[in-house]
Amino acid sequence: MTVQTLPGNPHFAGVYRTTADSGFVAAVAPRAFLSVPEVRAALCEILATQAHRLTFTVLHAGEGLDTEALGDDAAATRKFHRTKTPEGPVESLLAERVSLTLPEDAVLSMTDDVRDLGGDSLFCLELSEAVLDTWNVEIEPVDIFRVESLAALAADIEARR
């Protein structure tokens, strides 16, 4: 496995490797807060690839940017972010609504959760109200915060309709 250092970026340091299918696996250490969709967009630009060809993890302070960050042990124990596009009308509308809270160039995935988006209690309250307005479904803000992904939230919305 050949691991390379990401070219200079003001927002994070990182390492990456190519995969057998010409995709990329990366590990990044942010210098300041970035949401997962913002990291995804920056990596796509740096590596000149599409989001669906990219898998990455965000390292915490003190974790090494080396071969081990992308190894089999890391893959088994860390959260790696993969891109999943919205499927169906509920996922599409939900993604559209959530995208309004993100910077214009951010790349949203249905695998993202509220914490990946930088969401807080106000975000969850606003999203809860949007769900009620759009689908007439009541979901408590705390339940939105606890959901494992936007896809899971969309499935919950569909089940309650």
Statement to judge: residues 13 and 67 lie in one domain: yes
Q: Report the alpha-carbon distance of residue 57 to residue 28 in Å, rounded.
A: 6
Q: Which domain holds residue 107?
A: 88-160
Statement to judge: residues 10 and 54 lie in one domain: yes
Statement to judge: residues 77 and 95 lie in one domain: no
Q: Is pLDDT above 90 for 91?
A: yes
Number of domains in the chain: 2
Selection from 106, 122, 119 nearest residue 150 by Cα: 119
Q: Report the alpha-carbon distance of residue 40 to residue 56 in Å, rounded.
A: 8
Q: What is the mean pLDDT of the chain?
A: 93
Residues 98-155: pLDDT tens digits? 999 999 999 999 999 999 999 899 999 999 999 999 999 999 999 999 999 999 999 9
